[in-house]
């Protein structure tokens, strides 16, 4: 090798190993070698149903071995029978199943030979079974007396084990077996004593040979059982039997083992086999069998027995089972015993087997052969299949060892060691190949290897050489030695590079040399990037029935793209690529989607990425959250009259700890089937002491709760009934209700069913007039009310209600004060006066009625008012009553929403729960003038470049004498910016149009028109318009107002309006109902602001139905507004309007400006009090 390297001019420091090949590598077939048996048959059975039987023997060697056979130790010529078929270069032969083949039965041995030596197989036994048959024989009937013992012999034919024996009748019904009648291991049927019922003529023994697929039957046997002759004089058959039994009674006698065997016998069993010891006894009464081990202990506390205790069975026998066993048969008449001395033996087993190998010339050889067994096996050495003759053998030979020194080529041979005892023979062969050849490198030259960064690389250099060769590796012609830290040369010549790096890529050379010659090969190594995986999300927690998506992100070397594969596993088992469970689990390359997650989906999911060079794995733990499983095994303990302890076992929490357990109960008396909550306990607790009510038949169940939700309820516990007891409490919410003045109805909340505590629940009601009576009036009732008549009107009573049942009374009840029936007040308020606050608001004062005139609980006062005439035109009005209710004991109230400049009348009355008292005498008052409502309309009649003509209508309500109008206008634009407001005052109240001049051309204006009284001006009507540009005419009414047809249309509309007003006036004078209160805008006035915190009552029209079809304002411009916006500022109340017959006809209305009052009559309303 050094010479070879020196030709390259390089000196490289290499590490070498001496490759020992004695037993490390198989000899290449190209090298001369001894024969080696590679395959052989073992025990073979020639079943009659098989077409042929193959006996195998294959061997390898160089030169190609030839084969010879022996049968029963004698040469066997395979060509001696045409039924034997052989193959070239093989020792295997086939025997065709034709004709009689019994002569093929025997023990065969195969010999494979070439010029170097002979290999020998183990013995191969061929068994040719005959078809088992029972002999045809005539079996004489067996006549016995009652109580005798009998043996029916089977004597089955020989056949291939296993053998199964059955005793049946001619109808194939099994003969019943027990302690009295049983079958022995050999198949005989034993009767410890016979009975007359044992008589039959069809006792048949069947022998089954499963491996031969054969069942054979013995001829039927007849057994006749008769009574004793001297017992026939008895008059009764039963008495005769009894007498016979008495005469036949005897102590046990062993039939197996027979008496001839003595009191003991020896049994040999093979180690690892099954020990069966059998004792069968006869006697009357039937003996009972028992077993003990005299020396040592039984393998088990309870020995395993079969056949009704008659067979002792020990499986897998060991040396510890050796010893003396005793069986005892006993009945009342005595005992019989037998001892079995059990010896455990074993066939030969190897301790050391001779090992062959490749040896170089001049070396030494030592072969060892040691075996154990019981009896101790004998050792025999053979050379090339023949016994060694110590006289001619040049080496040393002993029982356990053979040695040779200075081996030469001609010493090559096959050595055989055979160990034998009576239980078997074992064979071991050792091929000693003495060779002298130059190294053979079995690995191909120029092999390409690849691995990934971080993995180990293995560059192979399989070498065969004798003598052993020196082996080394170099890299890329480098003079640097290979580092011993990461580079390791294995014994078979393979170079292992651990923890590879990119720089390990390159060309490597393997060198081998011995004293005969030298060889070398090269190998190329590529280092690829390692595959990396990440699975997201990491360890997800998913609610059951929800979905989860797992994604596997992979990085791998681009050179490995074509071999890259991705798969998913769950708990180690690979998931199929196609969707599973009807599409619930879907694998799509790097994603795993699970919809409607189930509990069984929980587990470890692993993404596995594999390439031609490496495998990467990443896993996540999928945790499925669900409600807990229901609790189980509910138990009741610590039973008391008023309590019981409930315990349970918690169900699986499904990865979300149980927060609490809810205990529910159901009782089967009052509400059977309805479960109610009784108690709650923290999640860790599985027991609770439950407080119970008397006289309830409980059953309980438990519901577990975790963060996901509630479990299903557990199965109910057993029922638990508590004994009855007296009531623990009395009724509550005791009150007095009465519909008549001289009546008192006492009511209370009845006890709940669970509060009754026992049967016969009644209520003991006690009452007396407070401060008048000293003795209690009492009455027992079953209902939860009691009516008492002929009592004074509205006087206080002391009342008690006590619960009573069959077991006693409840606790002493508390006294409740109640009043007898009320009557309406019989007096009216006095001193009624009115203070006018402003044009729509007045304050009413009065003196309340005396307490004794209320005749009940004072609920409050009602103020009623109605308009009598208008101060503007002096016209009288039909009285349309309105009222406000003021709750409580008070002496004033605010009346809002009045019409300005009108005359009203007002009364006050007191009311209680029974009804209204008499009204006070009417008080007359007048409201001052107010500001008018806005004009009915504002229109632009004509536009010009610098002027506009406006027209407006009268206000809806003048609320006083009109003094004139105020017109206002200002410039507006599209950006909502406005100019200053200009005013024009019109003092002539009859003027309803006006021309405004001095306007800018082509400018947008907003116009306002307000009506005024001496009180002030009202809300403005508005309109917008655009003046004309210079030289043009445009506008809302441009070119229309000057047309004749337009003037005619306006006149027609005016006439129609006048006609409608006349019709309305006529209908009203005839009593028709129409709206008398339109929407009005009220400006705030200082007087109203000063009383904004005053208290109002409840305002209402009446309880009559509203008028259907009431007329609205004639021009239809009025929009309804809600009353609550302004009235809530003052107080609670209902308000509406009434005509003279009390029907509701209209509504108050007003602006929503601060301080104004606005109302509609669509419904009654209640306003909060600001007292």
DSSP 387-420: E--TTT-SSEE-SSEEEESS--GGG-EEEEEEEE
For the chain, the residue count is: 1171
What's the confidence (pLDDT) of residue 1068? 59
Asked if pLDDT for residue 160 goes beyond 90, the answer is no
pLDDT category, 16, cuts 50, 70, 90?
very low
What's the confidence (pLDDT) of residue 479? 61
Q: What average pLDDT does the segment 1082-1101 reach? A: 40
Q: Which of 706-710, 803-807, 1066-1070, 1088-1092 is least confident?
A: 1088-1092
What's the confidence (pLDDT) of residue 880? 86
The answer to whether the bond into 280 is cis (omega within 30° of 0) is: no
Q: What average pLDDT does the segment 1001-1009 reach? A: 90
What's the confidence (pLDDT) of residue 1044? 62
d(CA 587, CA 595): 12
What's the confidence (pLDDT) of residue 299? 73
What's the confidence (pLDDT) of residue 1103? 38
In angstroms and rounded to an integer, the radius of gyration of the C-alpha atoms of the chain is: 62
Which residues have CB under 8 Å from 851's CB, separation 6+? Answer: 858
Q: How far is CA 59 from CA 54, 385, 387, in A?
A: 16, 14, 21
- Give one DSSP letter per residue of 863-902, joined into a string: EEEEEEEETTT--B-----EEEEEESS-SEEEE--PPSSE
pLDDT category, 423, cuts 50, 70, 90?
very high
pLDDT digits (tens, 9 = 90+) for 477-533: 766 656 667 888 888 889 999 989 998 899 998 989 999 999 999 999 999 999 999
Q: What does the angle CA 187 – CA 190 – CA 195 come to, to the nearest 5 degrees?
A: 145
Asked if pLDDT for residue 132 goes beyond 80, the answer is yes
- Comparing 228 with 422, which gets the higher pLDDT? 422
d(CA 360, CA 364): 9
The CB-side HSE value for 17 (13 A sphere, CA atoms) comes to 16
What's the confidence (pLDDT) of residue 579? 65
Q: What average pLDDT does the segment 191-210 reach? A: 94
Which residues have CB under 8 Å from 94's CB, separation 6+? Answer: 52, 53, 54, 55, 84, 85, 86
Share of the chain above pLDDT 90, in %: 62
Q: Where are the beta strands (DSSP E) in 130-217?
A: 142-145, 150-152, 164-168, 181-183, 189-191, 200-209, 214-217
Burial class (CB within 10 angstroms; exposed 0-12, middle 13-18, buried 19+) of 438: middle
- Comparing 1080 with 534, which gets the higher pLDDT? 534
d(CA 553, CA 563): 17
Asked if pLDDT for residue 825 goes beyond 90, the answer is yes
What's the confidence (pLDDT) of residue 810? 93
Instruction: Encode burial over 312-335: b for 16+ CB neighbours within 10 A, e otherwise.
Output: bebeebeeebbbebbbbbbbeeee
Q: Which of 152-161, 180-189, 568-577, 1034-1043 is least confident?
A: 1034-1043
Q: Which of 40-54, 179-193, 368-382 is least confident?
A: 40-54
Q: Which of 501-505, 798-802, 819-823, 1094-1098 is least confident?
A: 1094-1098
pLDDT digits (tens, 9 = 90+) for 970-998: 988 776 677 888 999 999 988 999 999 98
Q: What average pLDDT does the segment 1160-1170 reach? A: 33
Segment holding 1063, helix H or strand E: helix 1044-1069
What's the confidence (pLDDT) of residue 487? 87
The answer to whether the bond into 257 is cis (omega within 30° of 0) is: yes
Kind of pairing, strands 518-528 and 591-594? unpaired
pLDDT digits (tens, 9 = 90+) for 743-763: 899 999 999 999 999 999 999
What's the confidence (pLDDT) of residue 115? 92
Of 336, 325, 231, nearest to 283 by C-alpha is 336
What is the four-CA torsion angle of 554, 557, 559, 565, rounded to 10 degrees? Answer: -30
Q: Which residues pair with 342 in a beta bridge?
A: 267, 323
d(CA 82, CA 416): 33
Q: Which residues pair with 836 in a beta bridge?
A: 842
pLDDT category, 811, cuts 50, 70, 90?
very high
Q: What average pLDDT does the segment 275-294 reach? A: 94
Whole-model pTM: value is 0.49
Query: What is residue 1086's DSSP assignment?
Result: H
What's the confidence (pLDDT) of residue 248? 83
- Comparing 1158 with 237, which gets the higher pLDDT? 237
Contact 1145, 1110 (CB under 8 A): yes
Q: What average pLDDT does the segment 126-155 reach? A: 91
Q: How far is CA 1101 from CA 921, 1109, 1143, in A?
A: 20, 18, 8
Q: What is the mean pLDDT of the chain?
A: 84
Token output for 509: 């050379």
What's the confidence (pLDDT) of residue 1134? 40
Q: Which of 80-94, 182-196, 1139-1153 is least confident?
A: 1139-1153
Of 278, 266, 365, nearest to 322 by C-alpha is 266
pLDDT category, 715, cuts 50, 70, 90?
very high
Kind of pairing, strands 142-145 and 221-226? parallel
d(CA 894, CA 843): 5
What's the confidence (pLDDT) of residue 1170? 33
d(CA 363, CA 359): 7
Contact 253, 331 (CB under 8 A): no
Segment holding 223, helix H or strand E: strand 221-226
- Comparing 551 with 1029, which gets the higher pLDDT? 551
pLDDT digits (tens, 9 = 90+) for 1104-1163: 333 333 333 333 333 333 333 333 334 334 443 333 333 333 333 333 333 333 333 333
pLDDT digits (tens, 9 = 90+) for 1048-1068: 788 788 888 888 888 877 665
Q: Specify the residue for token string 């999911």.
A: 605
pLDDT category, 1078, cuts 50, 70, 90?
very low
Q: Give the three-state DSSP class for 1024.
A: strand
Kind of pairing, strands 948-952 and 938-943? antiparallel
Burial class (CB within 10 angstroms; exposed 0-12, middle 13-18, buried 19+) of 80: exposed
Q: Of all residues in the chain, what percent are helix, strand and coil, respectively (each to 5)?
A: 10, 45, 45
Asked if pLDDT for residue 140 goes beyond 50, the answer is yes
What's the confidence (pLDDT) of residue 1151? 35
Q: What average pLDDT does the segment 309-325 reach? A: 92
d(CA 256, CA 277): 10
Contact 160, 129 (CB under 8 A): yes
């Amino acid at each position: 090798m050094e010479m070879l390297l020196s030709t390259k001019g390089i000196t490289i420091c290499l590490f070498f190993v001496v490759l020992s090949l004695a037993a490390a590598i198989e000899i290449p077939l190209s090298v001369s070698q001894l024969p080696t048996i590679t395959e052989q048959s073992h025990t073979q059975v020639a079943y009659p149903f098989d077409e042929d039987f193959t006996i195998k023997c294959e061997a390898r060697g160089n030169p190609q071995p030839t084969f010879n056979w022996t049968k029963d130790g004698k040469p066997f010529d395979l060509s001696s029978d045409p039924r034997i078929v052989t193959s070239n270069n093989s020792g295997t032969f086939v025997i065709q199943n034709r004709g009689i083949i019994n002569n093929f039965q025997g023990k065969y041995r195969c010999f494979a030979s070439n010029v170097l030596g002979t290999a020998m197989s183990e013995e191969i036994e061929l068994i040719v079974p005959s078809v088992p048959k029972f002999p045809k024989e005539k079996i004489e009937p067996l006549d016995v007396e009652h109580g005798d013992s009998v043996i029916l012999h089977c004597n089955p034919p020989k056949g291939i084990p296993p053998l199964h024996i059955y005793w049946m009748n001619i109808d194939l019904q099994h003969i019943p077996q027990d302690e009295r009648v049983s079958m022995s291991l050999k198949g005989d049927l034993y009767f410890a004593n016979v009975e007359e019922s044992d008589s039959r003529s069809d006792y048949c023994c069947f022998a089954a040979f499963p491996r031969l697929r054969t069942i054979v039957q013995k001829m039927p046997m007849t057994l006749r059982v008769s009574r004793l002759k001297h017992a026939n004089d008895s008059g009764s058959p039963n008495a005769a039997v009894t007498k016979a039994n008495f005469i036949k009674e005897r102590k046990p006698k062993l039939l197996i083992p027979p008496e001839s065997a003595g009191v003991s016998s020896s049994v040999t069993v093979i180690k690892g086999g099954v020990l069966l010891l059998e004792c069968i006894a006869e006697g009357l009464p039937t003996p009972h069998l028992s077993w003990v081990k005299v020396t040592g202990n039984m393998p088990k506390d309870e020995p395993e027995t079969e056949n009704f205790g008659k067979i002792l069975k020990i499986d897998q026998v060991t040396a510890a089972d050796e010893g003396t066993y005793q069986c005892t048969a006993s009945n009342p008449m005595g005992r019989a015993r037998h001892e079995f001395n059990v010896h455990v033996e074993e066939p030969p087993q190897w301790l050391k087997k001779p090992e062959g190998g490749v040896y170089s010339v001049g070396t030494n050889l030592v072969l060892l052969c040691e075996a154990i067994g019981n009896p101790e096996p004998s050792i025999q050495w053979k050379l090339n299949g023949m016994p060694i003759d110590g006289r001619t053998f040049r080496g040393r030979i002993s029982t356990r060892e053979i040695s040779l020194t200075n081996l030469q080529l001609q010493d090559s041979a096959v050595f055989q060691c055979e160990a034998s005892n009576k239980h078997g023979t074992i064979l071991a062969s050792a091929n000693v190949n003495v060779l002298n050849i130059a190294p053979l490198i079995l690995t191909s030259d120029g092999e390409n290897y690849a691995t990934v960064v971080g993995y180990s690389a293995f560059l192979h250099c399989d070498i065969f050489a004798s003598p052993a060769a020196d082996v080394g590796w170099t890299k890329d012609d480098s003079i640097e030695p290979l580092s011993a830290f990461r580079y390791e040369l294995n014994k078979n010549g393979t170079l292992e590079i651990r923890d590879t790096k990119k720089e390990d890529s390159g060309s490597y050379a393997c060198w081998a040399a011995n004293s005969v010659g030298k060889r070398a090969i090269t190998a190329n190594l590529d280092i690829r990037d390692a595959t990396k995986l990440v699975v997201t999300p990491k360890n997800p927690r998913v609610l059951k029935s929800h979905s989860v998506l797992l994604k596997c992100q992979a990085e791998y070397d681009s050179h490995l793209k074509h071999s890259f594969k991705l798969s998913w596993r769950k708990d180690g088992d690979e998931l199929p690529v196609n969707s599973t469970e009807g599409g619930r689990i879907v694998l799509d390359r790097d994603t795993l989607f699970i919809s409607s997650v189930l509990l069984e989906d929980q587990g470890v999911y692993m993404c596995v990425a594999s390439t031609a060079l490496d495998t990467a794995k990443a896993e996540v733990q999928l945790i499925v959250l669900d409600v807990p499983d229901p609790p189980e095994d509910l138990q009741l303990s610590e039973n008391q009259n008023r309590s019981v302890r409930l315990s349970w076992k918690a169900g699986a929490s499904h990865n979300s700890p149980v927060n609490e357990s809810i205990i529910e109960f159901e009782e089967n008396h009052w509400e059977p089937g309805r479960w109610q909550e009784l108690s709650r306990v923290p999640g860790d607790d599985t027991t609770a002491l439950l407080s119970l009510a008397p006289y309830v038949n409980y059953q309980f169940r438990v519901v577990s709760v975790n963060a996901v939700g509630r479990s299903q309820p557990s199965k109910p516990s057993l029922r638990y009934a508590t004994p009855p007891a007296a009531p623990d409490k009395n009724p509550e919410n005791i009150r007095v209700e009465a519909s008549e003045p001289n009546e008192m109805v006492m009511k209370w909340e009845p006890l709940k069913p669970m509060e009754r505590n026992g049967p016969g629940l009644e209520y003991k009601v006690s009452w007396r007039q407070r401060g008048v009576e000293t003795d209690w009036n009492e009455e027992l009732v079953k209902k939860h009310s009691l009516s008492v008549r002929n009592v004074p009107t509205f006087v206080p009573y002391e009342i008690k209600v006590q619960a009573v049942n069959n077991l006693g009374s409840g606790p002493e009840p508390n006294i409740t004060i109640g009043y007898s029936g009320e009557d309406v007040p019989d007096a009216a308020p006095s001193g009624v006066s009115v203070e006018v606050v402003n044009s729509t608001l007045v304050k009413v004062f009065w003196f309340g009625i005396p307490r004794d005139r209320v005749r009940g609980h004072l609920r409050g006062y009602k103020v009623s008012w109605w308009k009598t005439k208008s101060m503007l035109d002096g016209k009288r009005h039909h009285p349309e009553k309105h009222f406000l209710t003021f709750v409580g004991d008070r002496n004033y109230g605010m009346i809002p929403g009045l019409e300005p400049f009108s005359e009203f009348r007002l009364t006050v009355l007191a009311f209680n729960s029974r009804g209204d008292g008499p009204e006070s005498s009417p008080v007359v008052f007048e409201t001052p003038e107010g500001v008018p409502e806005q004009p009915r309309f504002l229109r632009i009649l004509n536009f010009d470049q610098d002027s506009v003509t406006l027209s407006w209508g009268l206000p809806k309500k003048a609320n006083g004498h009109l003094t004139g109008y105020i017109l206002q206008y200002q410039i507006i634009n599209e950006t909502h910016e406005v100019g200053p407001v200009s005013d024009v005052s019109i003092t002539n109240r009859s003027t309803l149009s006006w021309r405004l001049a001095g306007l800018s051309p082509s400018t947008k204006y907003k116009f306002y028109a307000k009506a005024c009284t001496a009180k002030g001006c009202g809300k403005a009507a508005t309109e917008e318009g655009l003046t004309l540009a210079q030289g043009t005419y445009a506008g809302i009414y441009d070119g229309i107002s000057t047309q004749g047809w337009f003037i005619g249309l306006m006149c027609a509309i005016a006439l129609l309006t006048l006609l409608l007003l006349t019709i309305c006036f006529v209908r009203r004078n005839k009593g028709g109902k129409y709206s008398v209160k339109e929407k009005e805008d009220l400006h705030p006035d200082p007087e109203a602001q000063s009383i904004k915190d005053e208290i109002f009552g409840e305002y209402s029209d009446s309880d009559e139905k509203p008028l259907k079809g009431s007329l609205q304002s004639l021009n239809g411009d009025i929009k309804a507004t809600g009353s609550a916006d302004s009235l809530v500022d003052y107080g609670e109340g209902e308000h509406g309007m009434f005509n003279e017959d009390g029907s509701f006809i209209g509504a108050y209305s007003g602006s929503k400006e601060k301080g104004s009052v606005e109302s509609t009559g669509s419904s009654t309303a209640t306003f909060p009090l600001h007292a």
